[in-house]
Amino acid sequence: MRRSGVLMCVLPAVVALSPAQAGELQRHQFRIVVPSADLQPADPAAARRVAARIDRTVLEGCGAARTAWPTLKRAVRRSPCWRDSMDEIRRRLTHPLLIAAIDDLL
């Protein structure tokens, strides 16, 4: 049986329904399911692959679809949504190679 680890992430997202509500912040939650074996990468290359998958998922959660232009993805990576999410994920990781790979993205 294949086991999976789940990294929970809370995303902040601004919802502008009216001028009075424009500054309100809502938090959305999503799951990143990572096979348990991937949370213990054997080498730096494997850790970078897992970090890239996590990055893609957080980008999508913060509003940049897989098919989004690179310019949009760069802008999302500078957003508080992406940075806060990646920081939270990093705090939950325990493997040094995976932490280093996430640090390289930050």
* CA nearest to 11, candidates 83, 94, 64, 71: 83
Q: Each residue's pLDDT tens digit in the chain (106 positions)? A: 455 555 555 444 433 334 444 344 455 666 777 888 888 999 999 999 999 999 998 998 888 888 888 898 899 999 988 999 999 999 999 999 999 999 999 8
Q: Distance (Å, rounded) from C-alpha 73 to C-alpha 62?
A: 10
Q: Where are the domains of the chain?
A: 4-105
